[in-house]
Amino acid sequence: MAIETKTEGARTSRLAIGGWMLFDWAAQPLFTVITTFIFGPYLVSRLTEDHAAGQAAWSYTLTISGIIIALLSPVLGSIADATGRRKPWIGGFAIIQILSLAALWFAVPGSSLVFALTMIVLASVAAEFSIVFNDSMMPRLVPPQEAGRISNIAWGLGYLGGMIVLIAVVALLAGNPETGKTALGIEPLFGLDPATGDDARVTGPISALWYLVFILPMFLFTPDQARGLPIRAAVTSGMSELKSTFRELKARPGILRFLVARMVYQDGVNGLLALGGTFAAGMFAWQTLELGIYGIILNVVAIGGCLYASRLDTRLGSKTVVMASLFCLLIATIGIVSTGPGFTLFGLIPLPTADSGGLFGTAAEKAYILYGLLVGVAFGPVQASARSYLARSIAPEEAGRYFGIYALTGRATSFAAPLSVALVTSATGSARAGMAMLVIFLAVGFLAMIRTPYPAYRLQGN
């Protein structure tokens, strides 16, 4: 069965849409095992002097990445509209991403922190630019009424891919520092030694290989737009179109309000995803095994959240899904920053400090995981339904520049959240106080979304 794309008058095959959806599957391990659960916490805990300094360095790195992405994403999106084709751009950035991720294997304890952080910046920037071009293909592949369902399912596939890589790491590669055994009770494959960070560093090459293999269906089966202007003319045309788009936004208040709201709340979402694992690693001294299992739990919940949201988006609209997800993230973040050894909710609920042994042996760790489940339910739908909101509201021929601006609003102030966390952490010496800054971004974004209208189907007015 094929899905008819109304704007094109052609039929887009399931194979073509499946190839497009597999991009999320290919890209997700970078965010799951590198940024959030494995390599990021390893960098903070093993390549820096102390947890607070490590969290600050990691936050400054995210700030640099965010600034680069914010400045260049709209420009590249507009140029892509003019050149027409998206795949050459995705292929070029894939080379940068794959090489940078593979190089993380050399980030051994005692090696240059600057080198590791530089590779993270390159991989993150290349990944985000590729996402702009991939997302901008959606309006030509999917009719507006299907955008929410397809977007959420694709996001769920991404989490499934990330979870599979996480399972492979904790079951086959990550040894417990005390026993030397993996979660399956076996010796780590390939003789990986947790004492030298092998189990964390190997996630770089694994993510690179995963991305290389699973972006191929998109290149093979998903149709690209017809070739447009030559690159030199496209740069001139794209810059002109970008200026026109910013002026045009004044006449499209629905989209403008949505982009402003997203600019604020996405800062909090990005900060929570990037720093949640490092915060837990510092507070509970979780190692690769604990962080990996925690990540698997969250990804299982995230897959279910995306699948359920794919139906809700169709029935209730993108705005409802985004707001419900933001509410869950707000409650979860308050719970996370209010939890420590022996307490939760800032001490209103005392918890026993006894360790029952095994993984997550203290009551505080169990409470942290409970709050993490709320994060898992919400952080996929809040992003997937935002993507479908925009896809429903624009025409295919303007998708590149609008998804470029979409990336801009997701990153324009993205330095603000990690920078706030870094500055407060550095000033107070408290990672908890720094993480509390994320509550502000989520709360303000939630309030801004209240006045944002539901998206109109594209070409019906905005």
Contact 332, 374 (CB under 8 A): yes
* Least confident stretch, 51-65, 321-335, 377-391: 51-65
Mean of all residue pLDDT scores within the chain:
78
Helical ranges in 317-415 per DSSP H: 318-337, 363-379, 381-393, 399-411
For the chain, the first-to-last Cα distance in angstroms comes to 31
- Which has the closest alpha carbon to 323: 440, 409, 443, 417? 443
Say how far apart CA 182 and CA 184 lie, in whole Å.
5
Say how far apart CA 167 and CA 295 lie, in whole Å.
9
Dihedrals phi, psi of 4, to nearest 5 degrees: -85, 130
Mean pLDDT of 139-163: 78
Per-residue pLDDT reduced to its tens digit, 163-172 = 888 888 877 7
How much is the pLDDT for 217? Answer: 92
How much is the pLDDT for 93? Answer: 94
How much is the pLDDT for 97? Answer: 96
Question: By CB neighbour count within 10 A (0-12 exposed, 13-18 middle, 19+ buried), where does 352 fall?
Answer: exposed
Q: How confident is the model at residue 98 (pLDDT cuts 50, 70, 90)?
A: very high
Say how far apart CA 157 and CA 379 lie, in whole Å.
14
Strand 10-12 to 3-5 pairing: antiparallel
Contact 240, 85 (CB under 8 A): no
Could you tell me the maximum CA-CA distance found in the chain, to the nearest angstrom? Answer: 67
What number does CATH give the domain 12-450? 1.20.1250.20
Q: Name the packing angle between helices 14-29 and 203-214 (round to 10°).
A: 170
Asked whether residue 34 carries a pLDDT value surpassing 80, the answer given is yes
How much is the pLDDT for 103? Answer: 95
Say how far apart CA 414 and CA 266 lie, in whole Å.
8
Neighbours of 188 (CB within 10 A): 21
pTM of the model: 0.70
How much is the pLDDT for 433? Answer: 79
- Which has the closest alpha carbon to 279: 264, 267, 294? 294
How much is the pLDDT for 399? Answer: 66
* Least confident stretch, 94-103, 187-196, 248-257, 443-452: 187-196
Asked whether residue 207 carries a pLDDT value surpassing 90, the answer given is yes
Task: For residue 92, give every residue at least 6 positions away whose Cβ sits within 8 Å of its Cβ, in sequence order, or none.
Answer: none
Q: How confident is the model at residue 4 (pLDDT cuts 50, 70, 90)?
A: very low
Asked whether residue 56 carries a pLDDT value surpassing 90, the answer given is no
Q: How confident is the model at residue 7 (pLDDT cuts 50, 70, 90)?
A: very low
User: Which of 37-41, 213-217, 397-401 has the largest mean confidence?
Assistant: 213-217
Mean pLDDT of 90-97: 94
How much is the pLDDT for 237? Answer: 65
| Residues paired with residue 12 on neighbouring β-strands, in sequence order | 3
The CB-based long-range contact list for 176-181 (8 Å cut-off, 24+ gap) reads 176/287, 176/289, 177/287
Contact 78, 242 (CB under 8 A): yes
Asked whether residue 3 carries a pLDDT value surpassing 60, the answer given is no
Asked whether residue 91 carries a pLDDT value surpassing 90, the answer given is yes
Mean pLDDT of 307-315: 79
Share of the chain above pLDDT 70, in %: 80
How much is the pLDDT for 177? Answer: 63
Mean pLDDT of 334-363: 73
Say how far apart CA 417 and CA 440 lie, in whole Å.
9
Asked whether residue 70 carries a pLDDT value surpassing 70, the answer given is yes
Say how far apart CA 339 and CA 346 lie, in whole Å.
7
How much is the pLDDT for 413? Answer: 65
